[in-house]
Amino acid sequence: MSQKLCGMAGGKASVSYLTVSTFVILGILLIARPYAAVAIAAFVVGLGAVYLRQLTGKKTKSALTADVFQEFELAKKTIVSHNVTIYRFNLPTPESVLGLPIGQHVSLCASIRQPDGTFKEISRSYTPISGDDQPGSFDLLIKTYPQGNMTQHLASMTVGQSIRARGPKGNFTYTSNMVRRLGMIAGGTGITPMLQIIDAIMRGRESGDQTEIDLIYANVTVEDILQSVILDKHAEDPGIRVHYVLDRPPEGWDGGIGYVTADMITRWLPGPAPDIKILLCGPPPMVAALKRTTEKLGYEKSRPISKLEDQVFAF
């Protein structure tokens, strides 16, 4: 990838609210001189109100920009398993929020040494498992792969070092009660966008979000199941149901076994209807197979690149 991809390009400055107000008032003065004193007085009062709001108003500042990579400092690494880590990055201020719409992701970028000794700009996309209810920082749940340029780089980082990030990115944005039921199928770290959406729905319960969720979460072994404590806690909600599927289950396992099948989808997820969506996230071969399976089961055909209006959406 080119240097420009991960560059720290600046954005255009915007015209301030006060500058526009000044020109408006000057226009009034020129057109209606008899009322100049009134206009000046109104301007002074308005200016004072703006400054007072800036001084006393409690505001949160979104840290992300879509077209500019910014540096975020690594604050903490939490080891989840032998190859999965939660990385916590600081935002510019304790009051800052990431400003990421629910269901979207960020791009990370770094200059990474290659086997031949050269450096290459590498960019990868990840979905935070934290939301704007966590000011001052954001969390990424990431699996380290032996040949993964970015994941190996992240694993080698120490607290205090920085990564470049920008966003938001993605075609899916969750809004409260957008459908009656959401069916979700996730594999491995593909659970991250699902967690983000489930967390948002749980936070929205008090304000009237009644969306029901049916999640199938597939992994190889029990040890590979991520955030099971959080998922099981969410499943205490009567509108949320979680089904685990393992390729190599332990003795006495009472969940699903093997790959996610058409029968599992029929039994555990909402059937085709105008007021439901099926969300997919996981390894590409898994997602490709699930697209074919859902189409055979009567769901609308998934596009190569999913759009928000699609009944079957793949992250």
Residue that is written with structure tokens 């967390």 in the block: 199
150 is in an annotated binding site: yes
Per annotation, catalytic residue among 85, 109, 126, 294 = 126
Which position has the token pair 């979460």? 217
243 carries an active-site annotation: no
Cα dist from 136 to 63, 96, 128, 173, 216, whole Å: 9, 5, 14, 22, 32
Is there a binding annotation on residue 259? no
Active site residue 105: yes
Was 158 annotated as part of a binding site?
no
User: 6, 85, 109, 127: which one is catalytic?
Assistant: 127
CA 38 – CA 35 distance, rounded (Å): 5
Collapsing DSSP to helix, strand or coil, 293 comes out as helix
143 marked as part of a ligand binding site: yes
Q: Which of 6, 87, 105, 174 is catalytic?
A: 105
Q: Is 164 annotated as belonging to a binding site?
A: no
ω into 168 cis (within 30 of 0): yes
State yes or no: is 244 an active-site residue.
no
Answer yes or no: are the C-beta atoms of 237 and 199 closer than 8 Å: no
Span between the terminal Cα atoms of the chain, in Å: 22
- 180 marked ligand binding residue: no
The Cα 13–Cα 80 span in angstroms is: 42
Q: Pick the catalytic residue from 87, 281, 293, 299.
A: 281
Residues catalogued as catalytic: 105, 126-127, 281
Q: Which residues are annotated as a binding site?
A: 124, 126, 141, 143, 150, 192
Q: Which residues are annotated as a binding site for FAD?
A: 124, 126, 141, 143, 150, 192
